[in-house]
Amino acid sequence: MSEFIGFSKVIEDDIKELAALGDDIWREHYSSILSEEQIGYMLEKFQSESAIKEQIEQGYEYYFIKEDSNSAGYIGLCKKPEHLFLSKLYIKQDYRSKGYGRKAFNFVCTKCKDLGLDKIVLTVNKNNLKSIAFYEKIGFKKTDSVVCDIGDGFVMDDYIYTYSIF
């Protein structure tokens, strides 16, 4: 029987695996929300090996969500002056509805507290209804919306959600 193991910090040797995992999850999850062209563009811009390496150099931290020896998903975090930015929380389809999202969220809360911060901020696509429902269920509040031009005629049309630790 498989079981949740925990979180493993991504190091440079893991970047290729992380990029492949991101590609799998994005293509599965976003195919009903975004065009194939936008998914490909965003994967190259934000989830390619070079993009992940650059993000890590800029202070982002990535963690695999592990079940046995398998990567069930991953988290991307970045400390900002006023909050912890939850850049990514992705779980493979086969591992959803097993409580991993909640465990990942608890892990992020611990990181936030350890950094002396009192809130977590994230952005989520306005059409990503399942993720929005999850974030609202665990206590995130919609605080704003933003449309960002990401190049090549594509935009990210997102809500901003905030979770207060205290």
Q: What tens digit of pLDDT does each residue of 101-144 get?
A: 999 999 999 999 999 999 999 999 999 999 999 999 999 999 99
Which pTM was predicted? Answer: 0.93
One-letter amino acid identity for 99? G
Cβ within 8 Å of residue 32, ≥6 positions away: none
End-to-end CA distance of the chain: 37
For the chain, the domains span 4-164
pLDDT at 1: 54
150 within 8 A of 45, measured Cβ to Cβ: yes
- Residue-wise burial string across 26-57, b where 16 or more C-beta atoms lie within 10 A, e elsewhere: beebbeeebeeebbebbbeebbbeebbeebbe
Indicate whether 4 pLDDT > 70: no
Domain 4-164 belongs to what topology?
Answer: Aminopeptidase (3.40.630)
Which one has a higher pLDDT value, 83 or 97?
Answer: 83
147 forms beta bridges with: 157
Mean pLDDT of the chain: 94
